[in-house]
Structure formats: C-alpha cells, structure tokens
Copies of this chain bind each other. A is one copy, B any other.
C-alpha cells in the first residue's frame, strides 16, 4: 500500500515546519478518531476505534517529543498550522458514523504516506525518526474490517461511502499539498519545474487512495 517512488526526497523541507505541521495534523486526527469512538453504538467497535486513536496519539506525542528535542516549544511551533488544518476538518461537517470512519481510514492513509515521503528530505538522523513515526501501523486493517462489515450488512452503504470517499479526497490532497509550500527544492522556492515534479507523487497518492476504495468495493 505504501508508495515507494520518492521524488520528494530531493525537496529540503524545513524540519521544524514539517514536524510541527505533522504533529498538529496527528493531534487533529486523534481528536477525530476519539470523537468517532465516542459516537460508536457498539462497544466492540468503540474499543477498536479507541485503539486506532491511541496509535495516532502515540504518533502525535512522538512528533511533539521530536520538536522538544529540537529545542522548540511544541505549542508555539504547531500554532501556525492550526487554522488551515481546523478548516480542513470543518469542511466535512456533520456526517454519518461510517462516513467518519472512512474519513479516518482514507485521510490517515493518504497523509501518513505523503508526509513519510516528504520526510525523506529531512537531515539525518531526523529523517529516519520522522519516517518511523509516520509509517507506524495505526490499525488500518481494523478500520477496513469495520467498514467492510457495514458494507456487507447494508448494500446501500456502498453508494453512500463511495460518494463520501470521492467527497473527501480532494480536500485531503490539498492539505497534503500545502505542506509542500514550506518545502522549497534545492534551488529555493518551488518553481513550475518543482510543481511538475510533484505531479507523479500526487498521482501515486490518488492511485493508493483508489486501491483503498477498491478493497472496500467502492468506486473511487
């Protein structure tokens, strides 16, 4: 499922900016996950989502610890990214429970993939530490099981979730892409050439997204 091609590895993202943005993104993903858990009608599913929330929280905490190790005040470092990321979540509004689980599955899948690739451009040994955090298994398979069970139990769920998957992918790509603005190439600010170099990465992310949808029997 991971995207192997790493043309982003040439970009030199600002370490504090990338780690802080990722840390806040994980905090918002954690809050999303725990509010989904709290809304579960089944206690076993609530437990499943809580485990995923715990894994995302561990990613957030590890990133905050990286920021502190870099001599940063984590809250101050994350502050510049709150507005944009909060806006990303608000755009989805109120939805059904299974739509929210799908959001969690697709957004963590796409964003963790993308950020891990971007992290290849960090200086050593930060690159390895950062990538180890972003590629950690947060329990995606358990989310797939919850969604697959819902699709199997109610065929109308298929079209609802397919629609929702298409709804959220664009905004999620935009949030991913905005991390690039802070990651100029070797020659400085992103140029038209950089932008063209980014295209295949976005295409790979969309291909991985489509595979996630396919696995659930959903048209991407």
Query: Which residues of A come within 8 Å of B, CB atoms?
Result: 27, 30-31, 34-35, 37-38, 42-44, 46-47, 50-51, 53-54, 57-58, 60-61, 64, 73-75, 78-79, 82
Contacts and interface: CB of A to CB of B under 8 A. Distances in A.
A74 B50 contact: no
Contacts of A42: 75
A74 B42 CA distance: 12
Contacts of A47: 27, 64, 74-75
A193 B51 CA distance: 42
Contacts of A37: 31
A42 B76 CA distance: 10
Contact of A43 (B44, B57, B60, B78): B78
A42 B73 CA distance: 13
B27 A50 contact: yes
Contact of A51 (B31, B44, B54, B61): B61
